[in-house]
Amino acid sequence: MTMPSTTEAVIISDPAPGNAHRDYVDIPAILGGIILSSAIALVMLTFGSAIGLSFANFHGGTGVSPIWIAIAAASWLLWVEVSSLMAGGYLAGRLRRRVGDATEHESDVRDGAHGLLVWAGTLIVGAILAFGGVSATLSAVGSAASSVAMAGATAAAPAAGAAASKSTFDPTAYFTDSLLRPAPGASAPAGSPALTRADAVGEIGRILANGAVAGSISDDDKAYLGDLVARSTGLSADDAKKRVDTVLTSIDTAKAKAADAAEQARKTGVLIAFLTAASLLVAGAAAYWAAQMGGNHRDKQTEFDWFRR
């Protein structure tokens, strides 16, 4: 007896013809968005720099607080980032080829993800360009400084031997001067060379430098400075002391102003960094939304007749 045979056929259908071997990430669409957003940002930043809308050279007028200048510059940067990345995200969402088996919600998420990839890629390109510009600038500055140093060394070569023993940058020069100071009110020993103006200037400079490092100038150094000024200028002891006090007060005032300026610059730098980071986050959200909008227009085949005309 022959048993009847059965034949089973398995039919596999492709739910998304033409998309079986396609990835969810559409690289060409992302690259197109990055190129567009980078170009728009470059044009807008160049235009803004020409009229003074930049962190490096912001024209805020006289008497304007640096805080307000930082806020104004950050507002311009926010506008540039959001507008350029929205354009790049929209283009990526519009150009992305949709996988046919995706739901509407999944398609929106994928479109938004392409917008975020445009945002991330644009930031990387901007960072590379910025780093390249900084490196080129530092290289040019280093070459210029090297040329200046070589020129200075050539010009100073004839006097190098005579000045070596009196180098201002010798860390022990101040203490050497202290050992050789004459007693207050005493005259120089017989046969010793007279104090020249160059010697007085060098010794005063070392005293002031030591005071800057120590944080203050001692009373003995102040008294000796008065003696040096009196011997170099012919002033009386009282007038020389007053001049020393006036100059030291001016130095302290300049130091206080420099400290205030440094603190203000630090606060402004922190604010600029915070505003820049915040604007980048806002631009990322804008790129995500714009890519979803581009994907919706792609699915609905939205036409912009006004642009075409």
Asked whether the predicted pLDDT for residue 204 surpasses 70, the reply is: yes
Give CA–CA dist 229/227, Å, rounded. Answer: 5
Residue with tokens 């968005």: 33
Mean pLDDT of the chain, nearest integer: 74
Q: Please state the domain extents for the chain.
A: 27-146+279-303, 168-184+195-234
Q: What is the pLDDT of residue 83?
A: 92
Angle, CA of 227, 162 and 200, to the nearest 5°:
10
pTM for the predicted model, two decimal places: 0.57
Give CA–CA dist 293/296, Å, rounded. Answer: 5
Q: What is the pLDDT of residue 58?
A: 54
Residue among 200, 180, 179 nearest 188 (CA): 180
Which amino acid does the sequence have at 233?
T
Work out the number of other CB atoms within 10 angstroms of the CB of residue 222: 17
Instruction: Find the mean pLDDT for residues 253-261.
Output: 87
Give CA–CA dist 102/308, Å, rounded. Answer: 31
Instruction: Find the mean pLDDT for residues 267-288.
Output: 86
Asked whether the predicted pLDDT for residue 141 surpasses 50, the reply is: no
Question: Quick one: three-class SS letters along 267-280?
Answer: HHHHHHHHHHHHHH
Q: What is the pLDDT of residue 194?
A: 64
Asked whether the predicted pLDDT for residue 157 surpasses 80, the reply is: no
Q: Are 286 and 89 in contact (CB under 8 A)?
A: yes
Kindly report, residue by residue over 75-94, the tens digit of the pLDDT. 888 888 899 999 999 999 99
Which amino acid does the sequence have at 294?
G
Q: What is the pLDDT of residue 133?
A: 56
Give CA–CA dist 273/285, Å, rounded. Answer: 19
Q: What is the pLDDT of residue 61?
A: 56
Could you tell me the two tokens for 224?
């000796």
Higher pLDDT, residue 2 or 302: 302
Higher pLDDT, residue 15 or 221: 221
Give CA–CA dist 213/228, Å, rounded. Answer: 21
Q: Please give the full DSSP string across 155-174, using - where no structure is assigned.
A: HHHHHHHHHGGG-TT-TTHH
| Longest Cα separation, the chain | 145
| Residue 145 C-alpha from the chain's centroid | 21
Asked whether the predicted pLDDT for residue 175 surpasses 80, the reply is: no
For residue 187, the number of C-alpha atoms closer than 13 Å in the C-beta half-sphere is: 3
